[in-house]
Amino acid sequence: MIKKMFIAVLTIGLLASSCSNDDDNAPSTANLSLELDGLEALGDDFVYEGWIIVDGDPVSTGTFTSVTFPQSFTVDATQLENATTFVLSIEPAGETGTAAATPADTKILVGDFSGDRASVSTAIVGDFTDSWGLAFLRTPTDEVAGSANNGNDENGIWFGTPQMTGAPTAGLGLPVLPAGWKYEGWVVNSVGPLTTGTFTSFTTVDDSNDFSGTENNAGPPVPGEDFFNNEPAGFTFPLDVRGLTAVISVEPDPDNSLAPFTLKPLVGVIGQDVAPATHDLEYSSASFPSGFAIR
């Protein structure tokens, strides 16, 4: 009987020792806290994902959809301690496989750790502090080549500088965007925003002519739009753009929404004069998110 009790006690001791060893070998964890301001919800198809850069490689800290902060994420303590940089990207919801192991091109915030925190900004998207823009009112897409002006130039806006002869020249002073981002033009009235199309070049037509006239749908070699056809619900075409607000936004590519994204580097109120007059768009920093990643 005594021998059996000794064996039982020994067995329990070995099991306890084994469990203790397993716990000792388990990786320790630590909390990464995000205190961010200015992010907007992405909708159902996309999520935000945090990453720490450890020995040059990205390590996911988790995804989130809520833009209420602070938020906390549990990560490997050693990796967090050795992290040099925090990155926030926009990712397709439910992403799996190889693509899920690295950040998408749509990286929106980045910052290097200094001590226990990283101050993050949109510097990875571009430096917009010296940005400027010019727009003019004209409706080239309903004019027959060689004919007189139709007298309805208040129904179109183009982001460029009109010339006395020849095509307009570029009218946007903006940085070249990295992969994963495009610019998009907008006019905004009491109904809401209306796109003029997305673009990456300031000296070619943009990606859309959904609302243009039928005579010259391509338009001039600058981004912009005439508003004659296919009016969206709530809008009345031809649209008089005088007095409306013009916006240039920076959009994720692929895009997450039919509305302007949070990054809006250029904003301006459209004046009353049509071309050759131009109207200023000025740099606005109000829409740029920022904050801290704290370990």
Phi-psi domain of 195 (left: phi exceeds 0; alpha: psi -120 through 50; beta: other): beta
Residues 242, 121 contacting (CB under 8 angstroms): no
Beta strands in 96-192 (DSSP E): 107-114, 117-120, 132-137, 156-158, 160-161, 169-170, 172-173, 181-188
Q: In the numeric block, which tokens belong to residue 267? A: 């904003």
Beta strands 107-114 and 57-64 are unpaired
> How is the chain split into domains, by residue range?
27-124, 132-287
What is the distance between the alpha carbons of residues 154 and 271, in angstroms, rounded to a whole number?
10
Q: What is the rounded CA–CA span in Å between residue 19 and residue 185?
A: 61
User: What's the pLDDT score for residue 179?
Assistant: 96
What is the enclosing helix (H) or strand (E) of 250?
strand 245-252
Angstrom distance (rounded) from CA 151 to CA 144: 13
3-state secondary structure of 16: helix
- Match 């992969």 to its residue by tokens: 179
Position 18 scores a pLDDT of 44
Q: Look-up: residue for tokens 């801290």?
A: 292
Q: What kind and span of H or E run contains 12? A: helix 2-25
pLDDT at site 16: 44
pLDDT at 32: 98
Residue 58 main-chain phi, psi, to 5 deg: -80, 140
Digit-by-digit pLDDT tens for the chain (295 residues) are: 444 444 444 344 444 444 444 455 667 999 999 999 999 999 889 999 999 999 999 999 999 999 999 999 999 999 999 999 999 999 999 887 666 789 999 999 999 999 999 999 999 999 999 999 999 999 999 876 656 678 899 999 999 999 988 899 999 999 999 999 999 999 999 999 999 999 999 999 999 889 998 776 678 999 999 999 999 999 999 999 999 999 999 999 988 788 999 999 999 999 999 999 999 999 999 999 999 999 9
